[in-house]
Amino acid sequence: MANFVIDKKIKLVLALLGAIICLSFLAWSEDRIFADFDNDGITDSDDNCPLNANLAQTDSDYDTVGDECDTDDDNDGVSDSLDQFDTNPLDWADFDFDGIGSSQDTDDDNDGILDTNDSYPMTASEILATKYLDNIETCAEMNDGTMRLVCYSEFFGTLTENEKNNSDALELSIALSKIGAIDDCHFVSHEIGHVSYEMTTDVTKSLQGMDGTMCRGGYFHGVLSSYFHNIEELGKSFPDSYQTICDDLIGSSNYQDCVHGLGHGFVHYFGDDLNSSLESCHDLSFYQNILCVKGVMMQYTDNVITRNGMSKDVLSNLCDSEQLERFDNVECSMSTGTTLAFFTNHDFEKGKELCNMIEDADSRNYCIEGLRLEIQDSEKYESNPLTEDIREKFQPQFIEGSKSIDIRSPAIISDFQVMKEVGVISFSIDKPQYVILYIPSEFVASKMLVTVNGQIPMDLKSQDYLLGKEMAMISFVPNQSGTVLITPVQ
């Protein structure tokens, strides 16, 4: 009789538990039915994209997955991250950027010759993108910015090995940058330059015929980095000829890219010995040193941040004001901002947040300024890339052995003369573009008169640089091309 009572109690308990479970399930089911995770007003059970707000419920390819969470909206097999027409299954590419997809464009490369009559109707970038689409998509779909950049660097290194024309590889990197698949092509163009040098082991051959305006000279920086890296790997001494490596490019805008690349290369040779890299720059002429130090600091900050991360301690101690000269310290802090731009996909707010972790106020502000300038330059390049005819050219004029007057201008400088006995400097310019001169003080009087074809140019400025009064700067904007005379005023 007792056992019967116990069994009855057990059955009653089990019945109650079952009822509770059933009621809980019904309540859970009701919550599920009316749940709206993304708060877009559409319950999850009816929402074609429950994790992303999409009130319109757009589903371009009718695959029951809403466009907001569909990685291929038109179901054409090309990821939306690359598809320039992601709701049109007939088109994905527009590599001449005229707004017309390739299937409808009668002139795919926009060269004025109809595709039906064109022996090479597609741009090099479209040919390569089509050929390596799977590889590109693998990188494009990575969510982590740093990993995506590394993926693209490895891809472009392989591409450079496989393809003969380095300019075509750069064209592809520019195209992918324009459509937003790559944050900025400057970084990956370094890798194209690295691999190119490895294949030729000759700086001149690697740089010959290349255009420094592509990806803001990153290819040149990569070539020089690889050159110095190889010298260090082989245990060779630092080359005495480094000051003349870029001389064949004097007179072109590529020259400054090459000199800047020297700085990148020095860091590859000297590693963590920052002072040796900087001393090598300081032995160059005045403006060469400026370009070179920028290269050193870009490579140095990238190396340290890549290796040690972006903590407050790392960023605050990256540029030591007690160990570095004033100019070098400023450039280091600004280059920190430049490097952080690449690590944050050129997102100013994210980069600024990292700069603000730097303890020293001056370094913090210079970091933000470097970040701002890098993002500005990147955006300017994307919308309106500079061409060789309007890009500034660094044209040093060597006098008395190792001394030089460094000249920056989009105009071509010719017929340069220094008549030291009367204190006169003369040269010709081929078009009315700004001219900036850095002149050792021994070649100028306290006051100098500048004329172009006998006329005083507009925006004439002259000042001494606070570098032990060793250098003077003169800048002007001429009204016309012709002969420039810089004469002392008695």
Nearest to 191, CA basis, from 230, 232, 221: 221
Phi, psi for 442 (deg, rounded to 5): -65, -15
Q: CA 184, CA 189: separation in Å to the nearest integer?
A: 9
Provide CB contacts within 8 A for 231, sequence distance 6+. 238, 239, 269
The tokens 């640089």 sit on which residue? 465
Question: In terms of Cα–Cα distance, which of 402, 436, 400 is closest to 420?
Answer: 400
Crossing angle between the packed helical segments 348-355 and 326-343, to the nearest 10 degrees: 140
Is residue 109 assigned to a domain? no
Q: How many CB atoms neighbour CB 352 within 10 A?
A: 17
Which one of 343, 361, 383 terminates a domain?
Answer: 383
**417 bridge partner residues:** 426
219 and 349 belong to one structural domain: yes
| Residue after which a domain boundary falls, among 350, 383, 416 | 383
Question: What is the identity of the amino acid at 283?
Answer: D
Name the domain boundary from 52, 75, 92: 52
Q: Total structural domains in the chain? A: 3
* Burial class of residue 431 in the structure, from the number of CB atoms within 10 Å of its CB (0-12 exposed, 13-18 middle, 19+ buried): middle
Please give the pLDDT value at position 118: 86
Same domain, 456 and 355: no
Whether 377 and 444 share a structural domain: no
Q: What is the pTM of this model?
A: 0.77
C-alpha closest to that of 437 among 266, 74, 448: 448
**Per the structure block, which two tokens stand in for 134?**
């799977």
Which phi and psi (to 5°) does residue 365 adopt? -70, -40
Looking at the structure, do residues 259 and 401 belong to the same domain, yes or no?
Answer: no
Domain assignment of residue 19, given as a range: 1-52
Nearest CA to 300 out of 323, 283, 284, 287 is that of 323
Sign of the CA dihedral with 236 first, then 238, 244, and 245 last: positive
Residue 131, Cβ density class (10 Å: 0-12 exposed, 13-18 middle, ≥19 buried): middle
Is 254 inside a domain boundary? yes
Residue 228 and residue 183 share a domain: yes
The tens-digit pLDDT sequence of the chain (490 residues) is 445 455 666 666 556 666 566 555 544 455 555 575 556 566 666 666 766 676 666 767 566 666 667 677 677 778 777 878 877 888 888 888 888 888 888 888 888 888 889 888 999 999 999 999 999 999 988 877 778 888 999 999 999 999 988 999 999 998 998 888 887 788 899 999 999 999 999 998 898 888 887 888 899 999 999 999 999 999 999 998 999 999 988 888 889 999 999 999 999 999 999 999 999 999 999 999 999 999 999 999 999 999 999 999 999 999 988 889 999 999 999 999 999 998 898 899 999 999 999 999 999 999 999 999 999 988 876 666 666 667 889 999 988 766 889 999 999 999 999 998 888 999 999 999 999 999 988 888 878 889 999 998 877 776 654 444 688 888 999 989 999 999 988 7
Two structure tokens written together for 225: 């980095």
The set of residues, in sequence order, having a beta carbon less than 8 Å from that of 118 and lying 6+ positions away, is 107, 109, 111
> Does residue 412 share a domain with residue 376?
no
Is residue 410 assigned to a domain? Answer: yes
Residues 6 or more apart whose CB falls under 8 angstroms from that of 238 comprise 231, 269, 280
Structural domain includes residue 17: yes
Handedness of CA 51, 57, 58, 59 (dihedral sign): positive
| CA neighbor of 252 nearest in space, from 187, 294, 207, 189 | 207
Q: How far apart are CA 307 and CA 290, in angstroms?
A: 26
Secondary element (H or E) of residue 406: strand 403-409
The answer to whether residue 282 sits within a structural domain is yes
- Domain for residue 284, yes or no? yes
State the amino acid at position 103 in one-letter form: S
Count of CB atoms situated within 10 Å of the CB of 402: 10
What is d(CA 30, CA 28) in angstroms, rounded to the nearest whole number?
5
Give domain status of residue 61, yes or no. Answer: no
Strand partners, 404: 398
3-class SS of residue 11: helix
CA distances from 173 to 64, 215, 261, 286, 302 (A): 34, 8, 19, 33, 20
Q: Are residues 417 and 357 in the same domain?
A: no
DSSP states along 322-387: TTS-HHHHHHHHHHHHHHHHHHTTT-HHHHHHHHTT-SSHHHHHHHHHHHHHHHHHHHHHHHS---
Distance CA 21, CA 24 (A): 5
Beta bridge partners of 448: 488
**CA gap 420, 304 in Å, rounded:** 47
Same domain, 269 and 371: yes
| Residue 470 lies inside a defined structural domain of this protein | yes
- Per 3-state DSSP, the chain is made up of helix, strand and coil in percentages (nearest 5) of 50, 10, 40
Residues 370 and 412 in one domain: no
Domain co-membership, 320 together with 344: yes
Which amino acid, one-letter code, is at 364? R
Q: Please indicate, yes or no, whether residues 407 and 365 belong to a single structural domain of this protein.
A: no
d(CA 443, CA 421): 10
